[in-house]
Amino acid sequence: MVLGPAPDRLKVLILAPLGRDAKLAAETLAAAGLQAQTCGSMTALCAALGADSAVIGAVVLAAETLASVTECARLSGWLQGQETWSDLPIVALGGGVGQGAALERLLEVLKPSGAVSVLERPMPRAALVTAVQAALRLRCRQLQVRDLLAELAQANRAKDRFLAALSHELRTPLTPVQLALFSLQTEEQLSPAGREALAMISRNLEVERQLIDDLLDVSRIVHGKLELRPEPVDVHGCVRAALGVCRSALAAKGLEVSLHLEAVNPTVGGDQARLQQVFWNLLHNAAKFTPEGGAVAVRSRGLAGGGVAVEVSDTGDGIAPELMAKLFNAFEQGGAEVGRRHGGLGLGLAICRGIIQAHGGRIGATSAGLGRGTTFTVELPAGPPSQPPRRSSPGELSF
């Protein structure tokens, strides 16, 4: 369990440049057992925040703090540059003669922060202490979230390393097994029952090999090591080749397959084998999730400015709206029930997204809901990938 720091271990920065407000506020907070530090200017405040914002629990700002446009920009820039887990609590001090406009200006600058409270001067000392204590408790929660995110990221990296090592270790013994299987299949004296048993072993070895290859591909994508061999590629040729590989699976369920390849210029720059892998995966999913007698359609069209879009549609199971956001996450299969019914690791669409993004393209899906089919759309630019595949963040693959 992530505990985070105690509120009294965090520091409160105070910037109130007029009169004795800063000194009185610091003494009041110190008397309540809280650490407080006064800052003489906005520059000093931002420097203290930049030095180690994680030990800063809250900021007390007087309305008259922002005396210039430069100071406004400096504070606003720091607030907007916070990490995603951070929303530094700020206690704004209003009140005083002629300070109404100053407070409005301060609150306008503080808009990027969702953790602002306002106190009107003069005020009881207890009001300041209570407001700051509430701000420190909020900051503690934020720091707990930060620590939890760090733990999750570390665990995710450890899992990535484990999957990569596991994939290699699992693949190594497959080679001698496949060689031995090939040798046995060439035996002329083998009985029909023996040949049937070897065919069953061969099919299951192929399934095992595909699962291991998927794990290796996911590892390459996560670590930015997915290699592409760019060349002019006929996208229509890739679709037809993938369809040829999937034809037996589609025919076994009596699925009606229609092709509408209408892109005038279907040539893009990319890795032919990887793009064929994407279309094979989409067609394989269509065959797997479409009931007998259903239909699968593949369409292509040109994109404005060059490039090709390919749509793979089916009349199958469809996707529940609440699952759409996680569809391309690794190990997602549209829910536990789908995973139990169809098997697999749920890596195919995550790999598809990694490959298409490495080509500078996009992949998405739409579905009208359960039982109403799904359409996957792949968009590829005309030119070759201009940048090497980047390392994906854990959140992008969401292991």
- Percent of residues, the chain, with pLDDT higher than 70: 90
Q: Is the pLDDT of residue 330 over 90?
A: no
- Say which residue, 311 or 390, is predicted with more confidence: 311
Fold of 231-397: Heat Shock Protein 90 (3.30.565)
Tell me what pLDDT residue 280 has.
94
Q: What is the largest CA-CA distance in the chain?
A: 105
Residue 23 in this model has a pLDDT that exceeds 90: yes
Single-letter amino acid code for the residue at 251: A
Q: What is the pLDDT of residues 129-171, one digit of tens each?
A: 999 999 999 999 999 999 999 998 888 888 777 877 777 777 7
119, 124, 104, 120: which is closest to 58 by C-alpha?
119
The answer to whether residue 399 scores a pLDDT higher than 70 is no
pLDDT band at residue 50 using 50, 70 and 90 as cut-offs: confident
How far is the C-alpha of 84 from the C-alpha of 91, rounded, in Å?
21
Q: Do domains 7-150 and 231-397 have the same CATH topology?
A: no
Alpha helix stretches (DSSP H) within 324-380: 336-342, 348-358
- From the number of C-beta atoms within 10 Å of its C-beta (0-12, 13-18, 19+), residue 68 rates as exposed
Question: What 3-state class would DSSP assign to 247?
Answer: helix
For the segment 230-238, the average pLDDT, to the nearest whole number, is 94
List all residues 6 or more positions away from 21 whose beta carbon is below 8 Å from its beta carbon.
62, 93, 121
Q: What is the pLDDT of residue 252?
A: 92
Amino acid at site 94:
G
User: Which H helix or E strand runs over 22?
Assistant: helix 21-31
CA dihedral sign, ordered 189, 192, 198, 203: positive
- Angle formed at CA 93 by CA 92 and CA 97, multiple of 5 degrees: 140
Expressed in percent and rounded to 5, the helix, strand and coil fractions of the chain are: 50, 15, 30
pTM value is 0.58
Q: What is the DSSP letter of 185?
A: H
Confidence (pLDDT) at 281: 93
Q: What is the pLDDT of residue 112?
A: 73
As a whole number of angstroms, the distance between CA 175 and CA 48 comes to 60
In this predicted structure, the answer to whether residue 3 has a pLDDT above a threshold of 60 is: no
Q: What pLDDT band is residue 383 in, cutting at 50, 70 and 90?
A: confident
| Cis bond before residue 122 (omega within 30° of 0) | yes
* pLDDT value at 398 more than 50: no
Question: Across the chain, what does the average pLDDT equal?
Answer: 85
User: Do residues 336 and 290 touch, judged by C-beta distance below 8 A?
Assistant: no
Say whether pLDDT at 335 is over 70: no
Domain 153-222 listed as CATH 1.10.287.130: yes
pLDDT of amino acid 395? 41
Q: Give the C-alpha distances (Å, rounded to integers) separating 49 from 44, 83, 94.
A: 9, 13, 22
Q: What pLDDT score was predicted for residue 139?
A: 94
Q: Is the per-residue pLDDT at 345 higher than 80? A: no
Which DSSP helix (H) or strand (E) runs through 197? Answer: helix 192-222
Q: Could you state, in order of their start, the residue ranges of all structural domains in the chain? A: 7-150, 153-222, 231-397
Q: What is the DSSP track for 111-140?
A: TT-S-EEEEEES--HHHHHHHHHHHHHHHH
Separation between Cα atoms, residue 25 and residue 114, nearest integer Å: 23
75's CB contacts (< 8 A; 6+ apart) are 42, 45, 46, 66, 109, 110
Residue 4: pLDDT above 80? no
Tell me the DSSP string of 28-93.
Answer: HHHHTT-EEEE-SSHHHHHHHHHH-GGGEEEEEEEGGG--SHHHHHHHHHHHHTS-TT----EEEE
Q: How many CB atoms lie within 10 A of CB 156?
A: 17
* Element containing residue 297 per DSSP (H, E): strand 295-302
pLDDT digit string (tens) for 67-123?
Answer: 667 777 888 888 888 888 999 999 999 876 556 777 888 888 887 777 898 898 889
Mean pLDDT comparison of 22-31, 178-187, 207-216, highest-scoring range: 22-31
Using one digit for the tens of pLDDT, what is the confidence trace for 240-299? 999 998 998 999 999 999 999 999 999 999 999 999 999 999 999 999 999 999 999 999
189 phi and psi, to 5 degrees? Answer: -85, 5
The Cα angle at residue 211 between residues 207 and 212, in degrees rounded to 5: 115
The CATH number assigned to the domain with range 7-150 reads 3.40.50.2300
